[in-house]
Amino acid sequence: MIKEQNGFTDIPFGYSCTPDEAGWSLPIKHGQEGGKQMAGKREDYITWDEYFMGVAALSARRSKDPSTQVGACIVSQDNKILSMGYNGFPMGCSDDEFPWDKEDEQVDPYNAKYFYSTHSELNAILNYRGGSLEGSKLYVTLFPCNECAKAIIQAGIKTIVYGSDKYDGTPAVNASKRMLNAAGVRYYQYQPTGRKIEIEV
């Protein structure tokens, strides 16, 4: 006979009992709960690259630039989002008062956007308030220019995943790649999967 004494189960020597009688619990096998088979995980979830490039693409939608919208997302080594940014004017510089025109760059650069607009990569770096970006990864929808490459290198970002490279071969991008190669910053182009995700906002 099994007796309860002071909260402990007293099992006489030689007595044969079941684990339940003894107050023991049998180990539950993986995928089971209470002896029933549990449902498996969903298999069509998005990858890390899809997730972070999607965040960069969504950030680009915040840009007021009528010709080019670029978004960036900086991610830690353990896949945590650190910062985001998109191309636009600095704080305090009105989107309605400063010029968005790019056609007058050579004739009247003062009234073209290039003296005023900050690229998404630099905005993402400047938006970060957590300390060091050393070893982080940058997702950006357009390959960084030479000016952004300088900031990326100085910030300690070690990997760039980019979408479009439509300015490949231009002096700015050639200079960018030259600096990134010299500094040991890895970069590769994102390969779209073709999956469509609809978000209602």
Q: Check residue 102 and give its pLDDT.
A: 85
Helix (H) or strand (E) holding 188: strand 186-189
Q: Check residue 38 and give its pLDDT.
A: 79
Which ranges of the chain have pLDDT less than 50?
Answer: 1-4, 8-9, 11, 13, 15, 19, 22, 24-26, 28
Residues that are catalytic: 121
DSSP 31-45: TEETTEEPPPPPS-P
Q: Residues 6 or more apart from 169 whose CB is under 8 A from it?
A: none
Residue in this structure with the two tokens 């549990």, named with its chain if needed: 38
Helix (H) or strand (E) holding 99: none
Q: Check residue 139 and give its pLDDT.
A: 98
**Secondary structure of residue 81 in the 3-state scheme:** strand
Q: What is the pLDDT of residues 15-51, one digit of tens each?
A: 455 545 545 444 545 555 566 777 899 988 999 999 9
Helix and strand counts by DSSP (H, E) for the chain = 5, 9
